[in-house]
Structure 1
Amino acid sequence: MIDQLKQAKLVAVVRKLPGNRIIEAVEAVRKGGIHFVEVTLDAKDACEQIKALINHFGDTITVGAGTVLSVVDAKRASDAGAAFLVSPHFDADILAFGKAIGKPVFPGTLTPSEMQTAVNAGAEMIKVFPAGTLGAGYIKNIKGPLAHVEMMATGGIDLDNVALFLKAGVSVVGLGSQLISRARVDQGDFAGIEETASAYVKIVEAHVS
């Protein structure tokens, strides 16, 4: 799955969407060409949303959980069917839990020390958060001594800078409100979400080629 994720390079981050609109929002993302979705656990019905997405889309998308803050969170997300777990921070217990059940955990890191500590603990990929605040230049500099670290950049990534982050060496980009904004969902602008998803995919295709 990690190899497929690295090839796809894009994860749509779904945060606190109404349960009755999440299927439409994710369908728009899927039609736009993005097939990895992260549902953040800070929504009360997040696990129900994960189950609903899996039941509706089957194996046409891969659904993971974000904002995993504890082993308890990791267990309930895994029980709901989440295929991967993403945290905003590094927690060795969450990483160990993921290893025990055979599901990848992408811990949040910021500094070189945090990144290498996570890798030493067994993380196959780390999340750099908030990446947009620091910019692609930060990633490029970190990649000098830490070229071996697979990175997912999340937070503040948009159509204007996503190519810069890919060029700097990140393996995967997480797309939040810049792709699925609450305003668009509330307005029913799913065509706009699909169009934006497609624009991101085209940038990735140009980068890969």
Structure 2
Amino acid sequence: MTRPIIAILRGVTPNDAVAVAAACIDAGITRIEVPLNSPNPFDSIRRMADAHRDIAQIGAGTVLTPDDVGRVRDAGGTLIVSPNCDSAVIMATKASGMSSWPGVMTPTECFAALQAGADGLKIFPASLIGPAGVKAMRAVLPADCPVYAVGGAGPDNFADWLHAGADGFGIGTALYTPGLRPAEVAARATAIVKAYDEASL
């Protein structure tokens, strides 16, 4: 069963990418981004997509330009996540047939992202507005718009965010930090999925 969680593998290397992605997928986390400020990110994305594209959505995070959207597409990625709301990036993503998740913080940014074609919204950093802020924005956003909390949301407080109207999460350092072995990532991923399942009951 797939959970509404995006794994943020910041710092993963190409040599580790396939095994680390497999650890996430096996635990039930089947959307994975490699932030573009990681070492050789396009190589990691290519390897992960080649190995796992049939069972997972692989892509990039920290995508700031339309040119990088094209490079992710050429590497086999299908997911574009950004820390900001840039309509040019969103439109380039959709023109390439990929899934767009821009970072937003305000209602103005949320609606601008949706107008540009975003598939979902990444509230980032979510810690700055908290569950109360998400609840307030959720009241005016389209009901069918997926809203993910990223930055400050994790296993210890999944329930608070879900009750506020968040649909899912992006998880970074709680899941992966550079140098972790795949078995350690698997253990973390399993614990995160368990916490999500308990919070969503």
Provide the TM-score with structure 2 as the length reference. Answer: 0.90
1:106-185 paired onto structure 2 within 5 Å: 106-148=101-143, 149-182=145-178, 185=180
Please list every run of 5 or more consecutive structure 1 residues that lacks an aligned counterpart in the other structure. Answer: none
1:4-15 paired onto structure 2 within 5 Å: 8-15=3-10
**Is the CA contact (8 Å cut-off) linking 1:12 and 1:37 kept in structure 2?**
yes
Matched with 1:45 is: 40
| CA distance in structure 2 between the aligned counterparts of 1:97 and 1:147, rounded to whole angstroms | 23
SS in 2 for 1:60: coil
Structure 1 residue 30: Cα displacement = 1.9
Cα-to-partner distance string for 1:157-206 (whole Å, 9 max, x where unaligned): 221012221222122210001111225x1xx3x33321221222223333
Is the aligned partner of 1:31 residue 2:26? yes
| CA distance in structure 2 between the aligned counterparts of 1:54 and 1:77, rounded to whole angstroms | 10
SS in 2 for 1:105: strand
RMSD: 2.0
Cα-to-partner distance string for 1:65-95 (whole Å, 9 max, x where unaligned): 1111000111101111111111111111111
2:17 alignment partner AA: I
Structure 1 residue 40: Cα displacement = 0.9
**Is the CA contact (8 Å cut-off) linking 1:163 and 1:203 kept in structure 2?**
no
Matched with 2:78 is: 83
**Is the CA contact (8 Å cut-off) linking 1:39 and 1:50 kept in structure 2?**
yes
Is the aligned partner of 1:196 residue 2:188? yes
SS in 2 for 1:21: helix
| CA distance in structure 2 between the aligned counterparts of 1:11 and 1:38, rounded to whole angstroms | 7
**Is the CA contact (8 Å cut-off) linking 2:11 and 2:177 kept in structure 1?**
no
Cα-to-partner distance string for 1:79-120 (whole Å, 9 max, x where unaligned): 111111111111111111122222121111101111111112
| CA distance in structure 2 between the aligned counterparts of 1:97 and 1:116, rounded to whole angstroms | 18
1:101 alignment partner AA: S
| CA distance in structure 2 between the aligned counterparts of 1:106 and 1:29, rounded to whole angstroms | 20
* Structure number with higher helix proportion: 1
1:31 alignment partner AA: D
Residues 59-68 or 26-35, more deviating = 26-35
1:165 alignment partner AA: W
SS in 2 for 1:205: helix
Provide the TM-score with structure 1 as the length reference. Answer: 0.87
Structure 1 residue 8: Cα displacement = 2.4
1:118 alignment partner AA: A
Off by >4 Å, runs of 4+ in structure 1: none
1:90 alignment partner AA: C
**Is the CA contact (8 Å cut-off) linking 2:83 and 2:103 kept in structure 1?**
yes
| CA distance in structure 2 between the aligned counterparts of 1:45 and 1:32, rounded to whole angstroms | 25
* Aligned counterpart in structure 2 of residue 54 of structure 1, from 24, 49, 54: 49
Please list every run of 5 or more consecutive structure 2 residues that lacks an aligned counterpart in the other structure. Answer: none
**Is the CA contact (8 Å cut-off) linking 1:157 and 1:178 kept in structure 2?**
no
SS in 1 for 2:140: coil
| CA distance in structure 2 between the aligned counterparts of 1:122 and 1:18, rounded to whole angstroms | 31
